[in-house]
Chains A and B, each alone.
Chain A
Amino acid sequence: MIRDIAEMFQNSFMVRALIGGILVSLCASLLGVSLVLKRYSMIGDGLSHVGFGALAVASALGAAAPLHIAIPVVVASAFFLLRLSENSKIKGDAAIALISTGALAIGITAASVTGLNTDINSYLFGSIIAMDRNDVILCIVLSIIILIMFVFFYNKIFAVTFDESFARATGTKAGIYNMIIALLTALTIVVGMKMMGSMLISSLVIFPAVISMRLCSRFKTVIITSAIVSVICFVIGLMASYSYSLPTGASIVIVNMIALILAVTIGHFTMRKNKRALKKHAEKKK
């Protein structure tokens, strides 16, 4: 078993996938808690489709580094989607669906016109060998920034996530923190897309957050659990993908799904216990 694992990571692409993937999972899971709680989960999904569209168009145009084009496009759409969600007059969920399917259509058309059909598959569903040296460096830089930000702005992120209008009314500039979260989400998604595939990358944002919310009842423990769950699921999924030659992104999502089922089952019992204890407490008081 140990020898198998050692052998697995003798391939340099596996080492890159492991390092890059762990870091992307970590960043995505931290941001995910805030996004899921603010009901912005679909922004992650929308952004990944925009990322696919941008990458496909960039490659079709023969850009040397498609990622460099995709990053600004996705960041710009992140700000745009955030604006839409804040504006209650336009329905945010419909707008996201419009933008994501639109971007997908443009990407697929661009790719098929220029005959890039082999790349399409890896853009859409990810590939284990996709991470190159530059991607890993980007992942490392990005995750350092996200981790520092998270520690430094933790209390503000909590306040803005829990109650934006209270934070605004008592003098916290909520708009800036929303923008920082949108920016970092956009970067995480573009970087992670190559390995996970644009169809599946948003799972890294959503699954760990939902899983940890089932298990924990404090914000701090939710965030820490989310990070741990995300990394563990990623590593198991990656190794399964290598050992049984399964698609990487899909294996990771399936591992997350299994974790979610376990968490829902466990959470069902613990939450019931908590509610019962509180009810007893309230009755005693009366």
Chain B
Amino acid sequence: MGELLKCENLAFSYEDVDVIKNLSFTVNEGDYLCIVGENGSGKSTLTKGLLGLKSPNSGSITFENGLSRNEIGYLPQQTPAQKDFPASVFEVVLSGRLNSRGLLPFYSRADKLIAHDNIRKLGIEELMNRSYRDLSGGQQQRVLLARALCAGKRLMFLDEPVTGLDPIVTEEMYRLIEELNKNDKMTIVMVSHDIVSAVKYATHVLHLHYEKSFFGTTEEYIKSPLGKYFFS
């Protein structure tokens, strides 16, 4: 089990205000890391940094063991514009293969097979030719997860994957993610508001809390001062 992602002494700031300061953590292959924290603690800034959309003011984010950006899957938060987007489920899932195409303009047979496989894996075969905009929130989230699986085999970033879902669908979503982690050995990095469920499923927790962030295993977290605040 090698290291996949290593962050050292990270600092991010917006307009000279530090959002994240002196943050270090590592993600190993097979880990399920949950990043939690209050509003404004820098969760989304850190996500942008990890995805390469924003570069840190200081410190470094490095990929280890030959992990490259096109092996990373990403489940972003939905934008309002997406909710009524006229595209079939298959078109959306297939677009996850784009990063492995390089400059080639069209998808190959193999890409389409991978898309089919992931659609099957998430149990949305019957929806394949449906329009994305006609689906329910939970179904849309499954489609986006299938697309993320098409994009990345080794590491998966999930940004608030259960926002706006009802309790039953939320539980289904968490179970899916757990299966990916356990059965497919996919490394998971999830950003979440939901500390209780995060602790239930994750192996590691990163709790962003201004200067006193916590990083460690879930057991350590529950015993830590930050964890005790939520779990006692």
Contact = CB atoms under 8 A, between A and B. Distances in A.
Contacts of A153: 105
Contacts of B99: 170-172
Interface in A144-171: 151-156, 158-159, 162-163, 165-171
Given A37-B85, A162-B82, A218-B86, A167 B134 contact: no
B131 interface: yes
Nearest to B134: A274
B1 interface: no
Interface stretch (B5-13, B56-64, B88-96, B186-194): B88-96
B101 A155 contact: yes
B152 to A, nearest CB: 7
B134 A158 contact: no
Nearest to B129: A218
A158 B69 CA distance: 20
A213 B72 CA distance: 32
Nearest to B104: A155
Nearest to B101: A155
A271 interface: yes
B81 A38 contact: yes
B53 A169 contact: yes
Contact of B88 (A170, A217, A282): A217
Contacts of A39: 81
Contact of B157 (A169, A218, A220, A278): A169
Contacts, number: 100
B136 A217 contact: no
Nearest to A218: B88
B227 interface: no
A43 to B, nearest CB: 15
A231 interface: no
Nearest to A151: B105
B84 to A, nearest CB: 8
A18 interface: no
A275 B132 CA distance: 11
Contacts of B136: 278, 282
Contact of B74 (A152, A155, A158, A169): A169
Interface string A32-45: 00000111000000
A171 B70 contact: yes
Given A38-B81, A274-B131, A275-B134, A156 B91 contact: no
Interface in A196-230: 213, 216-220, 222
Interface in B148-166: 148, 151-152, 157
Given A169-B157, A274-B130, 13 more contacts: A153-B105, A155-B107, A165-B51, A166-B148, A168-B51, A169-B74, A170-B70, A170-B72, A171-B99, A217-B134, A218-B131, A219-B87, A274-B131
Interface of A: 37-39, 151-156, 158-159, 162-163, 165-172, 213, 216-220, 222, 271, 274-275, 278, 281-282
26 contacts: A154-B105, A155-B107, A162-B85, A165-B51, A165-B76, A166-B147, A166-B151, A171-B70, A172-B99, A217-B86, A217-B87, A217-B88, A217-B134, A218-B86, A218-B87, A218-B91, A218-B131, A219-B85, A219-B87, A219-B88, A278-B127, A278-B130, A281-B126, A281-B127, A282-B136, A282-B139
3 tightest CB-CB pairs across the interface, nearest first?
Answer: A217-B131, A169-B51, A219-B87
Interface of B: 51-53, 69-70, 72-74, 76, 79, 81-82, 85-88, 91-92, 95-96, 98-99, 101, 105-107, 126-127, 130-131, 133-136, 139, 147-148, 151-152, 157
